[in-house]
Amino acid sequence: MNRKVSVAPMMDCTDRHERFFLRLISKNTLLYTEMIVDEAINRGDKKRLLEFNINEKPVALQLGGSSPKLLAEATKVGEDFGYDEINLNLGCPSKKVEKNKFGACLMKEPNLVADCLSKMQAITKLPVTIKTRIGYDDVEDYENLHDFISTLKKTGVKTFIIHARKAMLGKFTPKQNLNIPPLKYEYVYKLKEDFPDEDIIINGGVTSVEQIKSLLQKTDGVMIGRAAYHTPYLLADIEKEIFNNEDVLSRQDVIEQLIPYVKDELKKGTRLNQIMRHTLGLFHGQSGASYWKRYLSKNMCVRDADIKKIDHIMDKIKYNNVDASVGHSA
């Protein structure tokens, strides 16, 4: 699987509608689901939680949990639904996640994590990967991170996605944890030096193609997060400059190809705002971008949005100076 560039799992962001939209922009970027808790999959509505459009592939399922048994069961369900990879969340720092004993707090229990990973790998032929932080609270020395990865490596896991910030458990909000702890890319570079046979993917603070190119000199892959959500056409630049694929859609063509999907989803009961909210940043940096955001916010990103508005969206693009041409994301 090509993990050169991927989009991070993000709660309330990387749902199936967002992934379908992003796949229209980039054919090669690896996409991830939001984190889904193992128990929710095993006891809940599997179809509602896991069903996705085949056009989203390649797509990885991220799981949250700390029970080897429940994680193994959820892994098998994910495989049966057609996902390409199963990822274990060892990086989320929120209080809710810590209370339920999954996410970054599991860095405190490497042997438990190793047991989980062993059970998950035993039940599937899919690659099982992990996403974690460089440390937590006052535990932020490189040696601890090295030992943690070394323990997990013994289970057979080959791909390690590292958010290059530590997690402040229970002290910062999730938003603060994305900004306040300093980035330490050098920790991730050192991991690649110490584990040359493993795939080391770097995450955190990535906002441009030039930055991606630089990071790829020292790691096996780059995972982008908020930049992919707020400036999604960045993926077109990535497609051209990282994957050497010039066959990318213009912004206008992205919307035109999204419309049939939207109409099909509306027939299934999906609300218009559930899909279109993901497109707010499509025209970021282009003339008319502010109009696009205002129009969506007023007409399509409200709970009771009129579905008839979708039929006029292309006219709104064409006649309100919204630059929809192929170009850099700016």
* 226 and 194 co-located in one domain: yes
Instruction: Say whether pLDDT at 330 is over 70.
Output: no
* 227 and 87 co-located in one domain: yes
Domain closes at, from 213, 241, 269? 241
Residue 68 maps to a domain: yes
pLDDT in tens, 271-322: 888 999 999 999 998 887 888 888 888 887 777 676 677 777 777 666 665 6
Residue 323 maps to a domain: no
Mean pLDDT of 22-51: 97
How much is the pLDDT for 196? 98
Residue 270 maps to a domain: yes
- DSSP H helices in the chain: 16-25, 38-43, 46-50, 68-81, 95-99, 110-123, 142-153, 174-177, 185-194, 209-215, 226-230, 234-241, 251-267, 272-276, 289-299, 313-318
**Above pLDDT 90, what percent of the chain?**
73
Mean pLDDT of 166-177: 73
Confidence of residue 93 (pLDDT cuts 50, 70, 90): confident
92 assigned to active site: yes
**Above pLDDT 70, what percent of the chain?**
88
Instruction: Say whether pLDDT at 88 is over 80.
Output: yes
The whole-model pTM stands at 0.92
Residue 219 maps to a domain: yes
Could you say which DSSP state residue 219 is in?
S
Domain that holds residue 115: 5-241
Residue 178 maps to a domain: yes
Residue 329 maps to a domain: no
From residue 140, how far is each of 52, 111, 198, 211 by CA, in Å? Answer: 38, 19, 22, 24
Average pLDDT, the chain: 91
pLDDT in tens, 176-193: 766 677 899 999 999 999
Determine whether 316 is exposed, middle or buried from the number of CB atoms within 10 Å of its CB (0-12, 13-18, 19+).
middle
Nearby residues of 307 by Cβ (< 8 Å), 6 or more positions away: 266, 272
* 213 and 260 co-located in one domain: no
